[in-house]
Amino acid sequence: MSPKPVDNFFYNIPEKEFYPIFKYSHGAFTTVGSLVKYFGENDIPGVFFILTNFNKNREQIDYLIVYIRFLWEINYEYNFIIDEEFNIELNEIEENFYDEEKDGFIDDNDEPKVIKRKERFAINKEGYFNMID
């Protein structure tokens, strides 16, 4: 596996455990879906679900994190759907529990600031994940 550049946060996590869930071969490459358990900064545990594309020589082409659940000052939640043509829809929710004006967490009765995003991806002929509209 050839890793992404060093500035990519996923490869800067020193300890990860991969649990492959499925493998799907299509065209000149194979997609593997894996659950990834990790410990990040300050030994905070986290979990990802990642799709990784490999060529026929088992070399990594690309990857896409499609699920993440992480809570600290901001709660990140990604959910995904893969359709029958292997297009991927990501639904991202970001809840911010930190109030920068107070320089601390929001009060218990306050609602967090919520940002929702939707992104769609398709796999091109070379095996890379491309964002589509």
Per residue in 51-65, pLDDT tens?
999 999 999 999 998
Query: In this structure, what DSSP letter does residue 14 have?
Result: S
pLDDT of residue 117: 92
Instruction: Check: CB of residue 120 under 8 Å from CB of residue 87.
Output: yes
Q: Return the amino acid letter for 70.
A: F
Helices (H), 18-86: none
Q: Is residue 76 part of a domain?
A: yes
Q: Give residue 132's identity as a one-letter amino acid code.
A: I
Backbone angles phi, psi at 93, to 5 degrees: -125, 130
pLDDT confidence bin for 72, thresholds 50/70/90? low
Asked whether residue 54 is domain-assigned, the answer is yes
- The answer to whether residue 37 is domain-embedded is yes
Sign of CA pseudo-dihedral 14, 20, 21, 26: positive
| C-beta of residue 8 within 8 angstroms of C-beta of residue 2 | no
State the residue range of the domain holding 26.
Answer: 9-132
The answer to the question of residue 1 being in a domain is no
As a whole number of angstroms, the distance between CA 62 and CA 92 comes to 20
In whole angstroms, give the CA distance from residue 25 to residue 54.
Answer: 9
- Return the pLDDT at 95: 86
Query: Between 110 and 8, whose confidence is greater?
Result: 110
Establish if 52 belongs to a structural domain.
yes
Say how many domains are in the chain.
1
Whether 3 is in a domain gets the answer no
pTM, two decimal places = 0.73
- Asked whether residue 4 is assigned to any structural domain, the reply reads no
Which residues 6+ apart lie within 8 Å of 71 measured at CB? none
Residue 57 included in any domain: yes
pLDDT digits (tens, 9 = 90+) for 4-56: 444 444 545 667 888 999 999 888 899 999 999 887 666 777 788 999 999 99
* Cα–Cα–Cα angle for 93, 97, 99, rounded to 5 degrees: 125
